[in-house]
Structure 1
């Protein structure tokens, strides 16, 4: 049975009290904006503080004890991400970024010189829409009345146009709709396009499997950030083909 009280105890922010309008007594914080950003739990905070206090040093810039420890921990991050999203090497790579927005923007920049247009769903956050518009021809595919993606519109536009990239969110930050990213990937690959998944909203809630490169449902690019998955801000990544990411 899920112990809500135990979970709340793991998050220091839940112990905060605030004076609110219309009340003479401070009220306990009830935070309902996890879709925008989550708070780190005590386990994460303690580990983070322990590292800063006892081990922090430049990464890949020194031969002394602290630098070697920091470098080893830093390098482990790549392996952890590869394992977490079930990604294979050596044909794929991971680039660490400050947030999902910068990872998505990086993908748009890396793909700008490839032939074709970019298809973007109408349920995208601006972070997965505007960068593509600024860097080349972009078309949108629709959303049904029930909030799901219009797969017929997607397939029609894939067949009609020379498409290089399909940009789609794993889950809507507005409605919570979860998209079948592997089905979308299959459609994109069928028509010679790649897929970029904004995984910011699903990273903490659904197991992600980018699948092997030779799988029709393989996810070519995937971006996500730790601050929506109970990690401190400033931690994010972009997964993608090594041949493309090596240009960074």
Structure 2
């Protein structure tokens, strides 16, 4: 089987595109001794880029509290924090007047969006819980079943938007289970035709593809740093400011207030500060901005080519393994990011992940990936296995996974 895999996949080696922290980490295996860890779990938390770690190291030497401080280090840290908004806005092609609100993570950003949205929300049944539960708990969610094709799914969403007024269409840019990408520009146009806005959960999209809020017609976009090669998990919501300014502050506390008078009441800030009460995750924000800049410097054409070659190698190898079933939501999806979900006959997802880890030092994800309705819809209520990759992945990592799976299915 290994010889077949060697002949079937691309023979040319694929090297990492950028250095990541921990790339030389070794782990124990049952073969005895240790081996270099093969990290194929980027979709959960991507390792920090070395350039991001270096940026953080420099920021730590000048770290202080942001805002309202006259001291030099407070001024330096505040400048870095505020400059991060512009870096992030440019990274996602935001409009000049878009508000950039930093949050705890993507889930927090979607919950903030749910807090400020003034009406019904249309959402698919295949969403990650982060872009499903914040809407369903409001009692204003209209859940649309995804079809077997992208085309029919787009049609179903537009029909729901046309059936009754909705404030928002909330959609995931790339599936965290299969990597499949939806046509965001088309969906934005459909939402706007029917008087709705669109929010895109881009947590799994922005590490892999260039995004443009302005040219795609996106109203709100959310993502987080820990999937973008930045530690600490800081998240962000970028989008139109009117709903944000009209809503009550997401959190009540210092920083969100312009004036507090126990007799006269509270005057709240407008803009990003309105929803950023309390001390922010300053270093997480600095890391997020550094990662965004690093990806722009590398260039998404290079990133896409690197990812395409790895994906082709993995897909061709998995197709040759008996009993291994790749997961797909759609029959006609034209694009996927670096995520491959699959199952192995006669093996539970956890047993596959454990086998890969203890015998070959490979890290993958197993379970339901915070997308329980989707896994049930696909016919795998007990979950699946997911391999995901990024800038630090090489063809050696993919080949090691394929060889290990080949050994497993022969057992």
Compute the TM-score of the two structures, normalised by the length of structure 2. Answer: 0.55
1:143 aligns with 2:146: yes
How many residues end up aligned between the 2 structures? 236
What whole-Å deviation, never above 9, does each CA across 1:204-223 have from its counterpart, x for those lacking one?
Answer: 111110116xxxx5111110
> Equivalent residue of 1:13, what SS?
coil
1:4 aligns with 2:20: no
Match of 1:99 among 94, 105, 108: 105
1:42 aligns with 2:45: no
1:236 aligns with 2:235: yes
Query: Of Structure 1 and Structure 2, which has the larger fraction of its residues in helix?
Result: 2
Distance change in 2, residues 1:223/1:66 (3 Å): same
Is the Cα contact below 8 Å between 1:120 and 1:168 reproduced in 2? yes
Distance change in 2, residues 1:49/1:153 (3 Å): same
Is the Cα contact below 8 Å between 1:38 and 1:227 reproduced in 2? yes
What RMSD, in angstroms, separates the aligned Cα atoms of the two structures?
1.9
> Once the 2 structures are TM-superposed, how far is the Cα of residue 87 of structure 1 from its aligned partner?
1.5
> Equivalent residue of 2:171, what SS?
strand
> Once the 2 structures are TM-superposed, how far is the Cα of residue 5 of structure 1 from its aligned partner?
5.2
Distance change in 2, residues 1:2/1:41 (3 Å): farther
> Equivalent residue of 2:162, what SS?
helix
CA–CA separation in structure 2 for the residues paired with 1:227 and 1:196: 20
Partner of 1:109: 115
> Once the 2 structures are TM-superposed, how far is the Cα of residue 143 of structure 1 from its aligned partner?
2.3
> Once the 2 structures are TM-superposed, how far is the Cα of residue 149 of structure 1 from its aligned partner?
6.6
Structure 1, unpaired ranges of 5+: none
Is the Cα contact below 8 Å between 1:123 and 1:169 reproduced in 2? no
What whole-Å deviation, never above 9, does each CA across 1:54-94 have from its counterpart, x for those lacking one?
Answer: 2101111311111111111111011111211121233x211
Structure 2, unpaired ranges of 5+: 1-11, 248-274, 276-411
What whole-Å deviation, never above 9, does each CA across 1:176-235 have from its counterpart, x for those lacking one?
Answer: 1111111101101101111110000011111110116xxxx5111110111111111232
CA–CA separation in structure 1 for the residues paired with 2:36 and 2:54: 23
> Once the 2 structures are TM-superposed, how far is the Cα of residue 129 of structure 1 from its aligned partner?
0.3
Larger radius of gyration: 2
Compute the TM-score of the two structures, normalised by the length of structure 1. Answer: 0.89
Q: Superposed, which structure 2 residues align to 1:123-202 within 5 Å?
A: 123-146=126-149, 150-202=153-205
Distance change in 2, residues 1:119/1:86 (3 Å): same
> Equivalent residue of 1:150, what SS?
helix
1:57 aligns with 2:64: yes
Distance change in 2, residues 1:3/1:32 (3 Å): closer
Is the Cα contact below 8 Å between 1:99 and 1:236 reproduced in 2? yes
Partner of 1:27: 35
What whole-Å deviation, never above 9, does each CA across 1:100-119 have from its counterpart, x for those lacking one?
Answer: 000001101111xx24x211
Distance change in 2, residues 1:148/1:206 (3 Å): farther
> Once the 2 structures are TM-superposed, how far is the Cα of residue 141 of structure 1 from its aligned partner?
2.0
Is the Cα contact below 8 Å between 1:118 and 1:165 reproduced in 2? yes
Partner of 2:272: none
1:85 aligns with 2:92: yes
> Once the 2 structures are TM-superposed, how far is the Cα of residue 13 of structure 1 from its aligned partner?
1.4
Is the Cα contact below 8 Å between 1:225 and 1:236 reproduced in 2? yes
